[in-house]
Chain A
Amino acid sequence: MNLAAHAPILAIAVPLLGGFALPLWGKIHPSLRNLWLALVASLTAALTGFVAVQVLTTGVQVYTLGASSPGETLSPGGFPIRIVLTVDALSAFMGAIATLLAVVAFTYAWRYLEEEEGKTLALTLGTLLWAGMLGMAFTGDLFNLFVFFEVTSIAACGLIGYRTWTSRGPEAAFKTMVMYTVGGLFVLLAIALLYGEYGALNLAYLARLIQGTTVDRIALGLLLGGFLMKVGAVPLHMWAPDAYGEAPAQAVILLVANTQTSLYALFRILFTLYGGVADPAIGWLVVGLGMLTLVVAALMAVVQMDLGRLVAFGAVSQIGYMLLGVGVGLTVISSQPAFGLVAIQGGIFHMLNDAVAIGLLFLAVGAVEKATGNRDLGNLGGLGHDLGWTTGFFLVGSLALAGIPPLNGFASKLMIYESSFALSPILAALAILASILLLAVFVRAFQGAFLGPRLASPKPVPTAMLVAMGVLALGVLALGLFPELVVRHLVEPAAKALWEGREAYLRAVLGG
């Protein structure tokens, strides 16, 4: 059996089945559970990496479940009836982000989580969330997109609320669950409408058939509503600060990856499924929501005194930049493809930059909480005396998120500023204003928590947590110093997959 040909489905199956096996190993001994998790994580990372290399070297990868050969996407009647995974450069890019954050989260969790505080449960839910994210990224089937949407929703809500001995965690999980459920129903209804109209669920097949009828447009509206909610676009973002603020740090960075996976799904719907019929009005809608998100979230971050919620609003505002970049691209790409491509590249590059920088900040907040038992900026101070590495990591993450050169946030924000300026200077001005607000927010947080005289004696931060933060900090520096390499080899193929690569995506599944 050629295992390499099965890599796309194995990348999903290994964490899914490995996650369910984790509690069994945990029952025998925690060390065996840790060893099993390391094995599952290494194998999944290797498989995701292998799929990405295959996509970048040979093009779109297709895998048909239940077929005699993985490439046999069509039934004898010329109809894609089986479940098909379709992995293009954007799917591989998203899979790589999810994998990076998952591996870092598990490294961090090794010493961050206590055995008696549901460590096995948290690791199991984290692994299932990872599997769901890879499923969303790799699937080429609309109904399976919904199934993995639900897998990620259930695992994410579990991760937010599993600490039942705190009151706010379960409350945040309940709110998130309500929103995810309503959003999920929108998505399911949209899929039902499209299935009723065309009798198909395969994304590529539907993309060929969609003509922009009223039913198609209603389905698009429902899909937009569902995914914009899970992305956390203002005014549908309110669950996000609650969830990010209450979940443990290793879970929060998985939630960040989960949000980005929903953003990926939104782009896939807009460009691949509706690319042939979508109009600039939808692009303007995405641009408007992006602007609203980055400004409102930055303003809300200004007055936060809880370090976790402050970073959470910072995370929401970054989603605004991604929506802005891709929204500008969506608005102009049919009339000015080169200009639109740069805008989309900016938005997609910012997904990676944000994942690394905001992940670093959330982990640093977790380290502060573990070391001091406190996250209130009114009570923290002088942590830089004792937590040197954590202080450095928080500073690097803050500056990167605020878009200070030469760190990674700057390069992608510059691409977004320039492209949005060309569409309307007001957009660029507001985006820069939000960045300035965020800089003020993070300078204030840094001064409040880390500078000044020593106010308490924090416990040392375990090495595994420092290593996890160090990996992300190195990522911030590397992406900041060599943006051209990343854009050329990863971001540009991913952005092209959305527009120029649409036909290749459809051909890979449908032939012709």
Chain B
Amino acid sequence: MTLLTGEGYWSPLLWLAAAAGVVLLSLLIWSRGRKGYNRATEQDLPFLSGEKREGVHVGGGHLYWGFVEGLRPYVERLRLVHSGFVGDYVAWLVVMLAVVFLIVLLGG
């Protein structure tokens, strides 16, 4: 059941056994924590930026906001390339063909 991956190996069942050990350890630590948590009370409410708000949802546009913003300068350049014009798509195909020809004809 062990997959040889060239330099190493991968055994999912061994990994599962290790994961089960980690889960058991986590449960053990969790069971020794505070007992004062009650479901469906105000302890369940999200607490964002000092404000208590009910029904608040951190949507897909907000999660990893800083991460996405950090990547935005690179992504915006890529967005420009994805113009949506089929003429541009074909132009890229022609450019790519030129590159391929260059490599195929000069490669060997």
Contact = CB atoms under 8 A, between A and B. Distances in A.
Partners in one complex: yes
Interface of A: 174-175, 178-179, 182-183, 186, 212, 214, 217-218, 220-222, 224-225, 228-229, 235-236, 238-239, 241-242, 279, 281-282, 284-285, 296, 299-300, 302-303, 305, 339, 342-343, 346, 377-378, 380-382, 405-406, 410-411, 414-415, 418-419, 421-422, 440, 443-445, 447-449, 452-453, 455, 480-485, 487
Interface residues of B, number: 52
A145 to B, nearest CB: 19
Interface stretch (B22-30, B31-39, B57-65): B57-65
Contacts of A381: 57, 59
A463 to B, nearest CB: 28
A346 B6 CA distance: 10
Contact of B1 (A303, A447, A482): A482
Main secondary structure of the interface of B (DSSP, over half): helix
Contacts of A411: 3, 5, 10, 12
Contacts of B40: none
7 contacts: A182-B93, A218-B104, A222-B97, A224-B104, A282-B103, A303-B75, A447-B58
Contacts of A418: 5-8
A343 B103 CA distance: 22
Considering residues B4, B12, B74, which has the most beta carbons from chain A within 10 angstroms of its beta carbon? Answer: B12
B23 to A, nearest CB: 13
Contact of B63 (A221, A419, A443): A443
A228 B60 contact: no
Nearest to A181: B90
B103 A285 contact: yes
B41 to A, nearest CB: 16
Contacts of A212: 108
B56 interface: yes
Given A285-B104, A300-B82, 14 more contacts: A218-B101, A229-B93, A281-B108, A285-B100, A300-B78, A300-B79, A342-B4, A381-B57, A411-B5, A418-B8, A444-B63, A447-B63, A480-B12, A484-B2
Given A380-B60, A406-B12, A455-B57, A296 B78 contact: yes
A175 to B, nearest CB: 5
B15 A484 contact: no
B47 interface: no
A448 B78 contact: no
Given A422-B6, A440-B67, A447-B63, A239 B89 contact: yes
